């Protein structure tokens, strides 16, 4: 990694553009998920901006080491907590979080066969007895 770090540094502008683009699309997606369960926030600034910052906040919870798969339950609980600060009932916040997670999982399902093929090609060699 250290030998090839210059490649990452040289590609930083492209990486940042891709991250901002995907972050923006995810925020728009979460905005529409919230609208689908009847969540409207009266916060004094564009509601989409709220989802722009909510998404990384809740995604961080998925990476906390816990005895769950990808923080299942932690991000949903975090969603309920954050939304409760804005007067949204827990049932709506939890519905939002579950739909957002299900939607993300559904979008990633088609990549599973390719990921398995890549693991077979580039995975660790099996140990020999």
Q: Is residue 111 part of a domain?
A: no
Domain that holds residue 33: 5-106
Measured distance CA(111)–CA(12) in Å, rounded: 25
Q: Is residue 125 part of a domain?
A: no
Q: Is residue 23 part of a domain?
A: yes
Residues 78/101, Cβ–Cβ less than 8 Å: no
Residues 89/97, Cβ–Cβ less than 8 Å: no
Q: Is residue 124 part of a domain?
A: no
**pLDDT per position as a tens digit, 21-66:** 999 999 999 999 999 999 999 999 999 999 999 988 888 887 888 7
pTM of the prediction?
0.77
Q: Is residue 116 part of a domain?
A: no
Q: Is residue 83 part of a domain?
A: yes
Q: How many domains does the chain have?
A: 1
In this prediction, residue 127 carries a pLDDT of 61
Q: Is residue 91 part of a domain?
A: yes
Residues 96/82, Cβ–Cβ less than 8 Å: no
CA atoms within 13 A on the CB side of 52: 9
Phi, psi torsion values for 86, nearest 5 degrees: -110, 15
Q: Is residue 89 part of a domain?
A: yes
**pLDDT per position as a tens digit, 62-98:** 788 877 776 678 888 889 999 999 999 999 999 999 9
**Smallest Cα–Cα separation from 23: which of 33, 11, 15, 34?**
15
Measured distance CA(33)–CA(38) in Å, rounded: 9
């Amino acid at each position: 990694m250290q030998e090839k770090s210059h490649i990452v540094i040289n590609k930083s502008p492209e990486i940042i553009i891709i991250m901002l683009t995907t972050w923006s699309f995810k925020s728009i997606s979460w905005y529409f998920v919230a609208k689908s369960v009847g969540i409207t926030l009266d916060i004094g600034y564009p509601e989409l901006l709220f989802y722009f910052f909510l998404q990384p906040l809740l995604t961080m919870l998925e990476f906390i080491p816990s005895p769950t798969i990808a923080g299942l339950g932690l991000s949903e609980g975090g969603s309920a907590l954050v939304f409760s600060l804005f007067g949204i009932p827990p049932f709506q916040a939890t519905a939002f979080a579950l739909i957002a997670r299900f939607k993300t999982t559904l979008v990633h399902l088609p990549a599973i066969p390719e990921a398995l093929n890549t693991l077979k090609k580039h995975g660790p060699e099996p140990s020999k007895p």
